[in-house]
Amino acid sequence: MKRPPIIVVMGHVDHGKTTLLDYIRKTSIASREAGGITQAIGAYEITYKEEKITFIDTPGHEAFSNMRAYGAQIADLAILVVAADDGVKPQTKEALQAILDAKIPYVVAVNKIDKNNADIERTKHDLFAAGVALEGEGGNISWQQISAKTGEGVNDLLDLILLAAEVEELTCDPSAPASGVVLTSRLDPRRGITAGVIVKNGTLRRGASIATSRAKGKIKFLEDNTGKMADSLAPCAPSLVIGFEKLPHVGEPFCAGDDADVETFLSEGQCPTEEKPVLNGSVPDENAIRLIVKADEMASLEALKITIENLKLPAAPRFIDTGVGNITETDVKLAGSTKALIVGFKTKIDKAAENLAKSQHTTVIDSPIIYELGKRIQEYAKKLIPKEMRRIEVLAIFGEPKGKERVVGGRVALGPIKNQERFEIWKNEKQIGEGKIVNLQSGRKDVQLAETDQEVGLLVQAGDSIAIGDYLLFSDGE
């Protein structure tokens, strides 16, 4: 049967992406529903002309970048927002490239037509120069003039979205096990682990078993995008799921159904009747080195990729993203969310990207010599977190630090872990500090030992360098 489209809004900073989403949301659903629940799920659903449309919130949502890392397709359509008073900017081009890489259709919204210095003709010329040929200008890309501030043209833009969705002939099978993508994942101090998801096929039901490649559980509570409890939700409803036993990763595909459906998904990597998620034609190898590669020109980029593929590495490399041009803030954000190494050949790193890379401990290597880059990638591979080392994945930080002591919540990824042990702190495959367990708890009881997959609370002595997503690594013989 026909299903609603899932839309992502992309574009340059300050061109009105957030204003557009806010206008659509606030005029389409009750204001009380527009805040916390949307942020918790990471998406919201509107009804326009008796048709449902799902929007991924916020612009440039982490999951949209992560879908390339996990091979999961999230959005069906994109809106490329360009400000009429500013024209095409670097992030406009990056957003366009992301849309093209995702192989999804898009429409253009020329925003801020209410501004005195709006120049629509110049904006259309800029778009043409960037490779976007609009309808009426010799191309076939649909577009609409809008003011996200006043609402002028927004309904016409929604009409374009419905028309584009009709052309795509989006369908689903309501009787199939539910499958889709995780958009948000957090540990709520009152409710436990919550996950915002979008269902792309099948029907999501309360009481069903649910799993991603890293986490599983049973759906205890199910909420729709207005915060109301639901027994079942159909595609493409944004949903809040409570019941995972540990935190799933943002961008991961999920399957929900009976135990047999979930076991099929975990063993074969696919939900029954759902296409198997792939990346570069193969199932992602979790031991592979993740790479974001930038070069000065396409010929150099292809040469570098071939060189990297021929390196002697622990596993075949995973190219999270590749492109021509400088290393930008967008590249660093993607590297942070996917724990990737950024490699630059005959290219520069923007100042903002350099500062962000330092703050989130993302490794960037660059050189004008391909051989040198290959050597440094091999050296980097040797320093990655050893898979056999005992470790705790940090899932939560509680309260304010008292001196160098902090209260941390986590999961033992590989045990056993003993009370009073010393550890190294690792972020994005890089050691950033060290510390010691002062007290170890499980189930709110003091314990001397915690085993693999056990959730624990720790009072640690390590300062404030620990963050959610880090790993605490324990050497043997401590």
pLDDT digits (tens, 9 = 90+) for 306-358: 889 888 876 678 888 888 889 998 888 888 767 789 999 999 999 999 999 88
Task: Determine the Cα–Cα distance for residues 366 and 376; give it in Å rounded to an integer.
Answer: 9
| Nearest Cα residue to 345 out of 321, 318, 365 | 365
Which segments of 359-444 are extended strands (E)?
364-367, 390-402, 405-414, 417-418, 422-427, 430-442
Task: Determine the Cα–Cα distance for residues 417 and 408; give it in Å rounded to an integer.
Answer: 14
CA distances 342 to 61, 91, 335, 383, Å, are 20, 18, 7, 15
pLDDT in tens, the chain (478 residues): 888 999 988 888 778 888 888 888 776 544 444 445 556 667 888 888 889 999 886 544 455 555 555 545 678 898 999 999 989 988 888 888 878 877 889 999 999 999 999 999 999 999 998 889 898 887 889 999 999 989 999 999 999 999 988 888 888 888 888 998 888 888 887 888 999 899 988 999 999 999 998 889 999 999 988 888 989 988 888 899 999 998 888 778 899 988 888 888 887 777 776 443 333 333 344 557 889 999 888 778 878 888 898 888 766 788 888 888 899 988 888 887 677 899 999 999 999 999 998 888 889 999 998 888 988 998 888 777 665 678 898 888 888 777 888 899 999 988 899 999 999 888 766 778 889 999 999 988 999 999 988 999 999 998 667 888 788 989 875 4
- Quote the distance between the C-alpha of residue 163 and its chain's center: 27
Q: What is the pLDDT of residue 32?
A: 41
The CATH superfamily assigned to 178-268 is: Translation factors (2.40.30.10)
Task: Determine the Cα–Cα distance for residues 334 and 352; give it in Å rounded to an integer.
Answer: 14
Residues 271, 90 contacting (CB under 8 angstroms): no
User: For residue 255, what are its two tokens?
Assistant: 């399957």
CB atoms within 10 A of CB 107: 20
Residues 255, 211 contacting (CB under 8 angstroms): yes
Strands of the sheet with 51-56, listed across from one edge: 43-48, 51-56, 6-11, 77-83, 106-111, 143-145
Residues 6+ apart with CB under 8 A from 236: 3, 4, 5, 6, 45, 52, 54, 172, 180, 198, 199, 200
Residues 280, 322 contacting (CB under 8 angstroms): no
178-268 and 390-474, same CATH topology = yes
Bridge-based pairing of strands 192-201 and 238-244 is: antiparallel
User: DSSP string covering 253-273, please?
Assistant: EEEEESHHHHHHHHHHSS-TT
Q: Angle 62-70/90-102 helices, nearest 10 degrees?
A: 40
Task: Determine the Cα–Cα distance for residues 453 and 468; give it in Å rounded to an integer.
Answer: 17
Give buried/exposed letters for 53-66 (b at 16+ CB in 10 A, else e): bbbbbbbbbbbbbb
For residue 183, give the amino acid letter. Answer: L
Tokens 């043209």 correspond to what residue? Answer: 153
- Quote the distance between the C-alpha of residue 322 and its chain's center: 17
CATH of domain 390-474: 2.40.30.10
Task: Determine the Cα–Cα distance for residues 7 and 107; give it in Å rounded to an integer.
Answer: 11
| Class for the domain spanning 6-168 | alpha beta
Residues 6+ apart with CB under 8 A from 464: 401, 406
Residues 6+ apart with CB under 8 A from 444: 457
Extents of the domains making up the chain: 6-168, 178-268, 290-382, 390-474
The CATH superfamily assigned to 290-382 is: Translation initiation factor IF- 2, domain 3 (3.40.50.10050)
Phi, psi of 316 (to 5 degrees): -55, 135
Task: Determine the Cα–Cα distance for residues 439 and 470; give it in Å rounded to an integer.
Answer: 19
User: For residue 196, what are its two tokens?
Assistant: 């915002």
| Nearest Cα residue to 94 out of 43, 141, 126, 130 | 130
With the C-alpha atoms ordered 273, 202, 163, 252, is the resulting torsion angle positive or negative? negative
| Nearest Cα residue to 212 out of 40, 71, 6, 382 | 71
Q: CB burial class (10 A; 0-12, 13-18, 19+) of residue 202?
A: buried
Q: Angle 351-359/329-338 helices, nearest 10 degrees?
A: 20
Task: Determine the Cα–Cα distance for residues 210 and 149; give it in Å rounded to an integer.
Answer: 41
Which H helix or E strand runs over 331? helix 329-338
Q: What is the pLDDT of residue 279?
A: 34
